């Protein structure tokens, strides 16, 4: 009895593993990026990841960039009250992150969906640049440091995947 | 096999997992019913799990293969070449920026509107606002040069692409016209992309362009002027039977774009070529047509080069081996070589090679396969920021003219703030270098001289390690033509002295540290868009060094690494070796136009275009310097500097039209 329960459990686990790994190109794709673990965790966290092709994976990551930019902008908005002495740097960050949302992300989505990935690469690289510039506006670390670092890392991983489409 | 029967006990067991006893399967006389209930059951369980597992596995493999068919092809070759490609050369990289932004001493630079508005060029083609990329369908018709271009009417980044349009009498003074083609058909609703014009013997025009369909498939479409008697060609008609070409078997739906101008074959048909790729091999497909509506695909490719990736904006044209005029695209013969050019998607470089065309089967082979199209060693029109270039035969003046997209090297935030992105290079004539026979020579079109205002001539001897201010007044719109001579003594010392090590082969503009690194015979040249204190400057220079064969080699570079203190712009050092023949003096020409600097070495044998974004070397604070950073050679510079007028490019008005019609 116990033996059967255990066996069923094992079989079910194996079935799930097989389902997740078979058909998914997440791992081999992420191996070719600068941050395998980040890549895998981002892509696995999206239900479309396991059945997506390379374009699809790129689009999922661009979605993550969009989400992170939105989150960072909200954080920036909150900081104006809490840290009014940082206004100047926050203004610059706000401008930069709005660029990511309004320019980089739509450009990248359109380019990758239409098969001219080089413009997607430009948009993705720029997302990292804008995050860096925002961070550079503070002398040293800031309340936004971990968010901007995240953006830079995701930008690098996404760029590597977009380059596979060239 | 007890396969399906074996399943029954399992489902029965699932319904009542606590029951230690098996329920007997229904009418199975073969099953033993007593004493051996548990053991056969366990055996059956094991077998059935195993079979379920196998069935599951098989099902998954079957669906897995189906969904991955496209990627499977890419994956095979990916492992060997992917590292190189991913390492990648897109010059924008946030790696360098991380270092800077992590450095407490360089805070982020804040652009103000004064700095940004200075960046707009005065005499280079650009739309009034928003994003532009590839040149499209350039042509001369009824007294007007026409220029079309990839344009985003809605933003300062790529997207929503339509065909912008402008006309000029002289390739320099342009008038903007309404948009020529919008994305209004199913076969181009996702983008009216790059294309080329063919002028037929009767003077009529056919335009072939790539459309991205409503399903994002890349197809080729035919369009022509609605009113051929309108010299401004304001309105265009799309052929109702579009698309005229769809991706052929074996070519992916997103690897089929940028049709060329057609040329006549000896059979009297029209032939075009379209770039694509097969795995990582860049290729150019060939099609024949008599009416531009139906096509016959040749089995042969115009050419292919492994490991070069997707070929965009392919261009194919004849050049004369003996004369300096341009040739119509259909010209063939013993006095002619053919150029194949392609824009490499992987690297954003335009490469070309000189070779021989075989009309009988539509193929072409390079004269030198070691520098074949797209290889890292192959020739480039321009060693700086220069992509998606396209030539056309200007039947008005009998020359072949080259257009190219010059993108920005700044952040997209700046582009959004200033409201525009990208310019076109100054149109250049292109001919084969009749002296070397191995490369092209490009030169800004003659008409640019009409912008020259006052000038000053200088003859200056510059000692080693010196910087000389050149007083020309305003220094943001200049045309400089210069000749340099290194003193003979210094040259001989280097050539004759066996202990002087050959360094020319190791030297590269990009990697050898820029204009401040001093050698025996260089670097020397001009520093443009420089502040008085040289806190910002853009040196354009020659570096002469001894080669392995003890002969001197000359390298021509632009160093943008100190062009701006801003840390959100890309600042590469560009350039390449420039052939210098016996008896030739070193010559360079530089066009400075705000945020674009174009340099031509040895009459256009090596050209470099760069984008620069100074923060203080702008307006009246921008100066010009002459410098010689050589360790002991003295250099004599003989040069003339012209102030350049604006081209006053503006939108169409009755007045503007009349003014242009008068010239």
Active site residues of B: 134
Mean pLDDT rounded to a whole number for chain A: 93
Residue B102 has pLDDT above 80, yes or no: no
pLDDT for B68 equals 38
- Could you give the CA distance from residue B279 to residue B309 in angstroms, rounded to a whole number? 8
pLDDT for B652 equals 80
Distance (Å) from the alpha carbon of A23 to chain B's nearest alpha carbon: 4
User: What three-state secondary structure class fits B149?
Assistant: strand
Mean pLDDT rounded to a whole number for chain B: 88
- Could you give the CA distance from residue B589 to residue B608 in angstroms, rounded to a whole number? 11
What is the b/e burial string over B322-351, where b = at least 16 CB atoms within 10 angstroms of the residue's CB?
eeeebbbbbbbeeebbbbbbbbbbbbbbbb
Structure-block tokens of residue B512: 């050898």
pLDDT in tens, B68-90: 333 333 333 333 344 445 444 44
A83 touches chain B (CB under 8 A): no
Residue B97 has pLDDT above 60, yes or no: no
Per the model's pLDDT, the better-predicted residue between A12 and B237 turns out to be: B237
A134 touches chain B (CB under 8 A): yes
Mutation target vs B (from A110, A131, A140; most B CBs, 10 A cutoff)? A110
Per the model's pLDDT, the better-predicted residue between A137 and B18 turns out to be: A137
pLDDT in tens, B425-457: 999 999 999 999 999 999 999 999 999 999 999
Least CB–CB distance from B159: residue in A15, A54, A110: A110
Mutation target vs A (from B71, B72, B79; most A CBs, 10 A cutoff)? B71
Question: Which range has the worst mean pLDDT, A31-40, B47-56, B293-302, B359-368?
Answer: B47-56
How confident is residue B504, by pLDDT bands cut at 50, 70 and 90? confident
Q: Do A118 and B345 touch (CB under 8 A)?
A: yes
Least CB–CB distance from A140: residue in B74, B90, B104: B104
C-alpha triplet B561, B566, B567: angle, nearest 5°: 80
The whole-number average pLDDT for the span B387-406 is 98
pLDDT for B46 equals 65
The whole-number average pLDDT for the span B448-477 is 97
Least CB–CB distance from B88: residue in A51, A133, A163: A163
Residue B36 has pLDDT above 50, yes or no: no
A150 touches chain B (CB under 8 A): no
How confident is residue B637, by pLDDT bands cut at 50, 70 and 90? very high
The whole-number average pLDDT for the span B374-388 is 97
Residue B96 has pLDDT above 60, yes or no: no
Specify which of B4-18, B340-354, B508-522 reaches the highest per-range mean pLDDT: B340-354
Give me the residues of A, 99-128, that contact B with CB < 8 A: 99, 102-104, 106-107, 110-111, 113-119, 121-123, 125-126, 128
- Could you give the CA distance from residue B343 to residue B341 in angstroms, rounded to a whole number? 7
pLDDT for A134 equals 96
Dihedral angle, C-alpha B101, B107, B112, B114, nearest 10 °: -100
Q: Do A134 and B108 touch (CB under 8 A)?
A: yes
- Could you give the CA distance from residue B624 to residue B613 in angstroms, rounded to a whole number? 16
How confident is residue B465, by pLDDT bands cut at 50, 70 and 90? very high
pLDDT for B527 equals 98
pLDDT for B658 equals 72
Q: What is the pTM of this model?
A: 0.86
The whole-number average pLDDT for the span B334-349 is 97
Least CB–CB distance from B82: residue in A18, A32, A125: A32
pLDDT for B19 equals 42
- Could you give the CA distance from residue A114 to residue B219 in angstroms, rounded to a whole number? 12
- Set of chain A residues whose Cβ sits within 8 Å of the Cβ of B92: 122, 125-126, 129
How confident is residue B33, by pLDDT bands cut at 50, 70 and 90? very low
pLDDT for B80 equals 38
How confident is residue A23, by pLDDT bands cut at 50, 70 and 90? confident
Distance (Å) from the alpha carbon of B444 to chain A's nearest alpha carbon: 29
- Could you give the CA distance from residue A131 to residue A101 in angstroms, rounded to a whole number? 12
ipTM entry: 0.88
Q: What is the 3-state secondary structure (H, E, C) of B48-102?
A: HHHHHHHHHHHHHHHHHHHHCHHHHHHHHHHHHHHHHHHHCCCCCCHHHHHHHHH
Distance (Å) from the alpha carbon of A83 to chain B's nearest alpha carbon: 19
pLDDT for B39 equals 55
User: What three-state secondary structure class fits B237?
Assistant: strand
Distance (Å) from the alpha carbon of A82 to chain B's nearest alpha carbon: 22
pLDDT in tens, B585-594: 999 999 999 9
- Could you give the CA distance from residue B72 to residue B63 in angstroms, rounded to a whole number? 13
pLDDT for B138 equals 98
pLDDT in tens, B234-271: 999 999 999 999 999 999 999 999 999 999 999 999 99
Structure-block tokens of residue A159: 């760029």
A96 touches chain B (CB under 8 A): yes
Q: Do A123 and B45 touch (CB under 8 A)?
A: no
- Could you give the CA distance from residue B221 to residue B188 in angstroms, rounded to a whole number? 8
Left if phi > 0, otherwise alpha if psi is -120 to 50, otherwise beta: which for B398?
A: left
Name the DSSP letter for residue B27.
T
pLDDT for B98 equals 35
How confident is residue A16, by pLDDT bands cut at 50, 70 and 90? low
Distance from CA of residue B494 to its chain's centroid? 38
Helix A145-163 with B94-102: angle, nearest 10 deg? 160
Q: Do A114 and B254 touch (CB under 8 A)?
A: yes
Nearest CA in chain B to A149: B98
The whole-number average pLDDT for the span A11-21 is 65
Specify which of A13-27, A131-145, B46-60, B117-131 reaches the highest per-range mean pLDDT: B117-131
Q: Do A155 and B415 touch (CB under 8 A)?
A: no
B80: Cβ contacts below 8 Å, ≥ 6 apart: none
Least CB–CB distance from A136: residue in B88, B310, B567: B567
Residue with tokens 């990839």: B150
Nearest CA in chain B to A54: B71
Structure-block tokens of residue A122: 């430009």
**Omega before B243 within 30 of 0, i.e. cis:** yes
- Set of chain A residues whose Cβ sits within 8 Å of the Cβ of B49: 7, 11
Q: Do A103 and B415 touch (CB under 8 A)?
A: yes
Least CB–CB distance from B412: residue in A23, A104, A160: A104
- Could you give the CA distance from residue B519 to residue B516 in angstroms, rounded to a whole number? 9
Mutation target vs B (from A24, A129, A135; most B CBs, 10 A cutoff)? A129
Distance (Å) from the alpha carbon of A81 to chain B's nearest alpha carbon: 22
pLDDT in tens, B164-179: 999 999 999 999 999 9
The whole-number average pLDDT for the span A107-112 is 97
pLDDT for B50 equals 65
DSSP string of B559-616? E-TTS-S-SSS---EEEEE----TTPPEEEEEEEETTEEEEEETTTTEEEEEE---SS
pLDDT for B32 equals 40
Residue B42 has pLDDT above 80, yes or no: no
Residues above pLDDT 90, as percent of chain B = 77
The whole-number average pLDDT for the span B202-215 is 97
The whole-number average pLDDT for the span B375-387 is 97
- Set of chain B residues whose Cβ sits within 8 Å of the Cβ of A110: 158-160
pLDDT for B16 equals 41
Residues above pLDDT 70, as percent of chain B = 83
Distance (Å) from the alpha carbon of A86 to chain B's nearest alpha carbon: 13
- Could you give the CA distance from residue A25 to residue A47 in angstroms, rounded to a whole number? 14
How confident is residue B54, by pLDDT bands cut at 50, 70 and 90? low
pLDDT for B420 equals 98
Per the model's pLDDT, the better-predicted residue between B324 and B526 turns out to be: B526
How confident is residue A5, by pLDDT bands cut at 50, 70 and 90? confident
Residue B229 has pLDDT above 70, yes or no: yes
pLDDT for B94 equals 40
pLDDT for B70 equals 37
Question: Which range has the worst mean pLDDT, B5-14, B168-177, B445-454, B541-550?
Answer: B5-14
Distance (Å) from the alpha carbon of B494 to chain A's nearest alpha carbon: 45
Give me the residues of A, 27-46, that contact B with CB < 8 A: 28, 32-33
Architecture of domain A34-164: Up-down Bundle (1.20)
Question: Which range has the worst mean pLDDT, B28-32, B117-121, B439-443, B618-622?
Answer: B28-32
């Amino acid at each position: 009895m116990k033996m059967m329960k255990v066996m069923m459990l094992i079989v079910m686990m194996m079935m799930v593993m097989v389902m997740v790994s078979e058909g998914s190109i997440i791992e081999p794709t992420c191996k070719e990026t600068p941050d395998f673990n980040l890549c895998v965790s981002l892509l696995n966290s999206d239900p479309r990841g396991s059945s997506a092709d390379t374009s699809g994976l790129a689009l999922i990551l661009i979605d993550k960039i969009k989400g992170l930019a939105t989150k960072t902008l909200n954080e920036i908005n909150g900081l104006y009250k809490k840290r009014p002495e940082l206004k100047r740097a926050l203004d610059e960050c706000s401008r930069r992150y709005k660029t990511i949302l309004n320019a980089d992300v739509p450009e990248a989505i359109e380019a990758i969906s239409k098969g001219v990935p080089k413009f997607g690469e430009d948009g993705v690289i720029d997302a990292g640049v804008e995050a860096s510039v925002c961070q550079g506006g503070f002398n040293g670390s800031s309340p936004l440091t971990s968010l901007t670092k995240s953006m830079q890392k995701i930008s690098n991983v996404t760029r590597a995947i977009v380059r596979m489409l060239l | 096999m007890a396969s399906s029967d074996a399943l029954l006990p399992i489902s029965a067991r699932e319904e009542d997992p606590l029951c230690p006893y098996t329920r007997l399967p229904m009418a199975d006389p073969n099953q033993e019913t007593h004493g051996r209930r548990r053991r056969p059951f366990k055996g059956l369980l094991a077998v059935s799990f195993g079979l379920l597992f196998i069935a599951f596995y098989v099902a998954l493999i079957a669906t897995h293969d189906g969904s991955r068919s496209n990627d499977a092809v890419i994956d095979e070759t990916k492992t060997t070449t992917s590292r190189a490609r991913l390492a990648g050369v897109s010059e924008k990289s946030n790696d360098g920026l991380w270092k800077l932004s992590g450095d407490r001493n360089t805070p982020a630079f804040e652009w103000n509107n004064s700095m940004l508005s200075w960046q707009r060029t005065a005499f280079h083609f650009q739309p009034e606002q928003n994003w532009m990329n590839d040149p499209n369908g350039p042509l001369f018709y009824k007294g007007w040069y026409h220029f079309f271009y990839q344009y985003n009417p809605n933003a300062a980044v790529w997207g929503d692409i339509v065909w912008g349009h402008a006309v000029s009498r002289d390739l320099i003074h342009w008038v903007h016209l309404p948009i020529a083609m919008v994305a209004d058909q199913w076969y181009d609703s996702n983008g009216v992309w790059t294309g080329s014009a063919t002028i037929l013997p009767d003077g009529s025009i056919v335009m072939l362009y790539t459309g991205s369909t409503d399903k994002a498939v890349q197809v080729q479409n035919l369009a022509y002027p609605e009113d051929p008697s309108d010299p401004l060609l304001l309105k265009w008609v799309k052929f109702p039977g579009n698309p005229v070409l769809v991706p052929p078997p074996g070519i992916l739906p997103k690897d089929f774009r940028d049709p060329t101008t057609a040329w006549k074959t000896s059979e009297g048909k029209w032939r075009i070529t379209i770039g694509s790729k097969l795995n990582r091999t860049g290729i150019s497909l060939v099609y024949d047509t008599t009416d531009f509506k139906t096509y016959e695909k040749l089995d042969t490719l115009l050419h292919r080069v492994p490991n070069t990736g997707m070929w965009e904006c392919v261009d194919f044209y004849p050049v004369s081996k003996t004369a300096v005029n341009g040739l119509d695209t259909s010209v063939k013969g013993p006095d002619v070589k053919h150029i194949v050019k392609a824009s490499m998607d992987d690297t954003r470089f335009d490469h070309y090679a000189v070779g021989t065309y075989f009309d009988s089967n539509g193929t072409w082979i390079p004269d030198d396969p070691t520098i074949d199209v797209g290889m890292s060693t192959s020739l480039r029109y321009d060693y700086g920021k220069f992509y998606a270039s396209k030539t056309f035969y200007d039947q008005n003046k009998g020359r072949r003219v080259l257009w190219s997209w010059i993108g920005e090297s700044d952040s997209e935030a700046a582009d959004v703030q200033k409201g525009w992105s990208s310019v076109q290079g100054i149109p250049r004539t292109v001919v084969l270098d009749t002296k070397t026979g191995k490369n092209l020579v490009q030169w800004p079109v003659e008409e640019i001289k009409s912008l020259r205002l006052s000038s000053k001539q200088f003859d200056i001897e510059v000692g080693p390690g010196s910087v000389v201010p050149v007083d020309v007044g305003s220094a943001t719109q200049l045309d400089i033509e210069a000749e340099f001579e290194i003193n003979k003594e210094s040259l001989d010392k280097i050539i004759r002295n066996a202990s002087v090590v050959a360094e020319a082969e190791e030297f590269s503009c990009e990697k050898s540290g820029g204009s401040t690194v001093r050698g025996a015979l260089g670097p020397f040249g001009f520093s443009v868009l420089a502040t008085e204190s040289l806190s910002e400057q853009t040196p354009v220079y020659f570096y002469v060094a001894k080669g392995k064969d003890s002969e001197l080699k000359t390298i021509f570079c632009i160093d943008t690494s100190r062009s701006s203190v801003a840390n959100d712009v890309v600042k590469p050092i560009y350039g390449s070796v420039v052939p210098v023949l016996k008896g030739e003096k070193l010559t360079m020409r530089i066009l400075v136009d705000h945020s674009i600097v174009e340099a031509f070495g040895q009459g256009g044998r090596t050209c470099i275009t760069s984008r620069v974004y100074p923060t203080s070397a702008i307006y009246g604070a921008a100066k010009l310097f002459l410098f010689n950073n050589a360790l002991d050679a003295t250099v004599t510079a003989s040069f003339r500097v012209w102030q350049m007028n604006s081209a006053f490019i503006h939108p169409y008005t009755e007045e503007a039209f009349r003014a242009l019609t008068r010239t």
